[in-house]
Amino acid sequence: MKKDWRTAPLDAKTRALMDWCARLTLAPSEMRREDVDALRAAGWTDREVLDAAQVACYFNYINRLADGLGVDLEPDMPPRP
């Protein structure tokens, strides 16, 4: 999962959350109530969905902030392509 969650052997519940987080990251304006309903149907509680949204959004925010300010990567991270 560390290299690419799309090819990792994930259970359906986890895959639903990863798909949702990716969509939230890449197309936030396209998110609809039905997206959360799908997570509920996969077994996620409203609290878990809220927690996941907050974590995903925080990482999106902090990464965009660092990129926008030209912050260098940490020494143990691979160089950008």
- Tell me: the pLDDT tens digits for 44-77? 999 999 999 999 999 999 989 988 998 877 777 7
- The reply to whether 1 falls in a domain is no
Question: 52: alpha, beta or left, given left = phi > 0 and alpha = psi -120 to 50?
Answer: alpha
- The reply to whether 44 falls in a domain is yes
**pTM beyond 0.75:** yes
pLDDT given for residue 36 in this prediction: 97
- The reply to whether 76 falls in a domain is no
> 17-29: per-residue pLDDT in tens?
999 999 999 999 9
* Confidence check: pLDDT of 30 > 90: yes
Provide the number of structural domains found in the chain: 1
The torsion angle over the Cα atoms of residues 45, 39, 23 and 77, rounded to 10 degrees, is: 50
- The reply to whether 74 falls in a domain is no
- The reply to whether 26 falls in a domain is yes
The CA distance from 18 to 21, in Å, is: 5
- The reply to whether 59 falls in a domain is yes
- The reply to whether 58 falls in a domain is yes
Full residue range of the structural domain in which residue 38 is found: 11-69
pLDDT given for residue 81 in this prediction: 65
- The reply to whether 57 falls in a domain is yes
HEC string of the chain? CCCCHHHCCCCHHHHHHHHHHHHHHHCHHHCCHHHHHHHHHHCCCHHHHHHHHHHHHHHHHHHHHHHHHCCCCCCCCCCCC
